[in-house]
Amino acid sequence: MLVFFKERLVFLSVPKTGTTAFQSALRTRADIVVSDPPELKHAPIYRYDRFFRPIFSKMFGIEMDILAVVREPVDWLGSWYRYRQRPFMAGKPNSTAGISFDEFVTAYLQGKRPPYADVGSQARFLTPRPDGCKASYLFKYENQPALLDFLQSRLDTKIDLPRENVSPAMSLDLDPDIAERFRRKFADEFDLHTSAR
């Protein structure tokens, strides 16, 4: 999470949406950088609303705009799958080594997911509490030019993005039947992505 106090902007770190690169590029420009532990770095909107928002509203009498990035849902799962293929994950319960992408997505569709497929939800990450704050600006991960234009304009700074935390490249073909089941069961994920800029 990045906080730009003067600009009244909070950049939430939705996992697997390139936010680590933005943290590296903007850490000296931000007023608050939450990079650890992961539970705070990747604080969902309800956690921001409960713990961080009161600091700004009660101490300073202001509301912050909230920025977030979302990724096309199949691509988002593909990034998790590839990330968990990395050698340092070998032997851990959340490793996807030896598991096909079809198996990974099928496991994600289960009510009780095995550890390797328990990766959360972008829609749940951005679901506000009752009467809570919502994302003010939502960008598609695939639309990096629009996101960069917005940030450079809002922060009045040039941004040079490094490539960080990039999952290994590999071809991921999802069985059409599994893809359709995923789309039906998690329509909210696709609706969220469609609603972004």
Mean pLDDT of 71-75: 98
CA dist 164 and 102 (Å) reads 26
pTM of the model: 0.94
What pLDDT, in 10s, does the model give residues 10-59?
999 999 999 999 999 999 999 999 999 988 999 999 999 999 999 999 99
Task: Give me the residue spans of the domains in the chain.
Answer: 2-195
- H helices of the chain, in order, are 19-26, 38-41, 45-47, 53-60, 73-83, 101-108, 122-125, 144-155, 176-185, 187-195
Domain 2-195: top CATH class:
alpha beta
At 165 the pLDDT is 67
